[in-house]
């Protein structure tokens, strides 16, 4: 296993990314990386500001001869998604990311890599440190908690930034320029549940779903991957009445913006249904694995006998809960009419917990059309309220509307074509970028987003293409040279 990522080119970027991998920085726990970046800026004797939320702004003067160029803001987020394989022992609050080189890629050993958005952060810090890069007046904006609510971006105040142009470095396909993104809203669902003693004359089983790919609930939602909570719930719904299944507790998923990869439930089945139920599990496993063979080749559904729980969820309430989960919208809801191939509206059934007197669910709804987002929220509320649940929507953030007159878009198009001999693709993205929020706080800010090629973000399969990082770096530096005058 080759772990010498700090020897890759450009070394200025990779050496800083290697240091970031050693610093725990899961969302909402960014204290150590904030301290690292603060010390980094101050060690360079640059103006370094940390706001009340923990966002960092570092200001670097223009290089000689570039003082009259428009002010540029380079923006990335400090936090990363903490996901790991079930057999991986890793504490995201303490342990370093075990990054290594795997052929043409850098990936991590059993966990998310944090290239989203660590590569963007590393590139900004490398530019701040360099004394041989040409640029105009420069500001670094490094936000916290992007992955679980964009609370850092929401906490920005007017007047903190001076720049007229912003480049967000949080996109994940080299050669693509992003000029718009979807908005989102979070749903929080809760059920109060009664419990009753586990039925006598029954057998307890643990039902588990493993081996699914998961992924980013915006970027990967159109790939047809399975949702472990939906797979688990399909089995429960199909077996409730026919085999007398009772639910003791269940869980699946961990983050709103990650497609859930694993799910489990402890259930009871009458002893006289043991053989028929086990045969049913074999048959439905074959059905589901055949349906998802192309997108989830490693899917495993296992049924194992376990200790009898003391209590189960009251059967009628469990039936309503499982029925609501079965009816809950999930995945792509509508494709865009305006942009071919772009998902307009989607939702991700992300987190499920049931047992000990309650059940909670979390979803993330996305859309580039606000009215469609709100319609989907109404539909979801209707499903769960009819089943007796309480539904709350929080954390709404706006989309980013493309600007056809963008100066930075024109510059990036021209620079890319001149440097690489082909035109970049100009796109909108079905994921949340902080540009929508920042643009609301700083109206008139000219914005664009680009980055290197990162595959499978928000999952332990996350990896970043080495060659694309060098290409991204060279493009970024050439763009800085070509920022127009005031």
In this structure, what token pair is assigned to residue 405? 């007159």
Average pLDDT by stretches of 10, the chain with 486 residues: 87 98 97 98 98 97 97 98 92 97 97 97 98 97 94 96 97 96 95 96 97 93 96 97 96 94 97 97 98 97 97 97 97 90 95 97 95 96 98 92 91 98 94 92 95 95 98 98 95
pLDDT of residue 2: 66
185-397: CATH topology: Alpha-Beta Plaits (3.30.70)
Q: CA quadruple 476, 479, 485, 486: dihedral positive or negative?
A: negative
Paired with 99 in beta bridges are 108
**How far is C-alpha 121 from the geometric centre of its chain's CA atoms?**
17
Q: CA quadruple 263, 266, 267, 273: dihedral positive or negative?
A: positive
Selection from 83, 90, 45, 113 nearest residue 469 by Cα: 113
pLDDT of residue 260: 97
476 contacts 470 by C-beta, under 8 angstroms: no
CA 20, CA 270: separation in Å to the nearest integer? Answer: 53
**How far is C-alpha 57 from the geometric centre of its chain's CA atoms?**
24
pLDDT of residue 210: 96
| Per annotation, catalytic residue among 79, 251, 296, 462 | 79
pLDDT of residue 338: 77
| Residue 293: Cβ-neighbour burial (10 angstroms; 0-12, 13-18, 19+) | exposed
Q: Which superfamily does 5-182+399-481 belong to?
A: Zn peptidases (3.40.630.10)
Kind and range of the H or E run holding 208: strand 202-210
Let me know if 146 is a catalytic residue.
Answer: yes
| Per annotation, catalytic residue among 30, 146, 147, 462 | 146
**CA-based R_g, the chain, Å:** 24
Domain with CATH 3.40.630.10 in the chain: 5-182+399-481
- Sort strands 343-355 and 358-367 into parallel, antiparallel or unpaired: antiparallel
Domain with CATH 3.30.70.360 in the chain: 185-397
Q: Where are the alpha helices (DSSP H) in 300-449?
A: 315-327, 370-386, 407-420, 435-441
CA 245, CA 243: separation in Å to the nearest integer? Answer: 6
Q: CA quadruple 43, 49, 51, 53: dihedral positive or negative?
A: negative
CA 147, CA 107: separation in Å to the nearest integer? Answer: 19
Let me know if 307 is a catalytic residue.
Answer: no
Kind and range of the H or E run holding 123: helix 115-129
């Amino acid at each position: 296993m080759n772990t010498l990522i700090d020897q890759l080119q450009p070394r200025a970027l990779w050496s800083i990314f290697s240091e970031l991998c050693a610093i725990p920085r899961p969302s909402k726990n960014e204290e150590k990386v904030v301290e690292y970046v603060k010390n980094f800026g101050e060690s360079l004797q640059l103006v370094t500001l940390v706001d009340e939320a923990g966002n960092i702004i570092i200001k670097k003067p223009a290089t000689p001869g570039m003082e009259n160029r428009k002010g540029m803001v380079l923006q990335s987020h400090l936090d990363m998604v903490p996901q790991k394989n079930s057999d991986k022992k890793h504490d995201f609050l303490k342990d370093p990311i075990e990054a290594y080189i795997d052929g043409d890629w850098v990936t991590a050993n059993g966990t998310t890599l944090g290239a989203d958005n660590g590569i963007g952060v590393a590139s900004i810090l490398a530019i701040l440190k360099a004394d041989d890069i040409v640029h105009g007046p420069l500001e670094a904006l490094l936000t916290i908690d992007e992955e679980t609510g964009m609370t850092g971006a929401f906490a920005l105040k007017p007047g903190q930034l001076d720049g007229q142009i912003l480049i967000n470095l949080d996109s994940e396909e080299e050669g693509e320029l992003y000029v718009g993104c979807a908005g989102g809203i979070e749903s929080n669902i809760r059920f109060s549940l009664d419990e009753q003693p586990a039925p006598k004359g029954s057998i307890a089983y643990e039902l588990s779903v493993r081996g699914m790919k998961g992924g980013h609930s915006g970027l990967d939602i159109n790939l047809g991957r399975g949702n472990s909570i939906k797979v688990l719930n399909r089995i429960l719904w199909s077996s409730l009445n026919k085999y007398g299944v009772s639910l003791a507790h269940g869980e699946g998923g961990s983050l709103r913006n990650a497609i859930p990869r694993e799910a489990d439930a402890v259930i009871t089945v009458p002893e006289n249904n043991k053989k028929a139920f086990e045969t049913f599990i074999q048959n439905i496993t074959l059905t589901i694995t055949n349906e998802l063979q192309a997108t989830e080749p490693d899917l495993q559904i296992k049924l194992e006998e376990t200790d009898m729980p003391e209590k189960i969820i009251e059967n009628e309430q469990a039936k309503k809960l499982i029925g609501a989960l079965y009816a809950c919208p999930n995945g792509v809801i509508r494709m865009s009419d305006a942009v071919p191939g772009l998902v307009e509206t989607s939702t991700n059934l992300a987190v499920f917990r049931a047992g000990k007197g309650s059940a909670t669910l979390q979803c993330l709804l996305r859309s580039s059309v606000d009215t469609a987002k709100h319609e989907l929220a109404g539909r979801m509320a209707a499903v769960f309220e009819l089943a007796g649940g309480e539904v709350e929507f929080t954390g709404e953030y706006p989309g980013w509307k493309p600007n056809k007159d963008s100066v930075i878009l024109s510059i990036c198009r021209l620079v890319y074509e001149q440097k690489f001999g082909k035109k970049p693709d100009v796109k909108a993205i079905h994921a949340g970028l902080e540009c929508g929020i920042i643009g609301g706080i700083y109206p008139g800010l000219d914005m664009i987003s680009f980055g290197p090629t990162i595959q499978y973000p928000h999952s332990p399969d996350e990896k970043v293409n080495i060659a694309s990082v060098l290409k991204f770096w060279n493009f970024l530096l050439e763009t800085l040279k070509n920022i127009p005058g005031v």
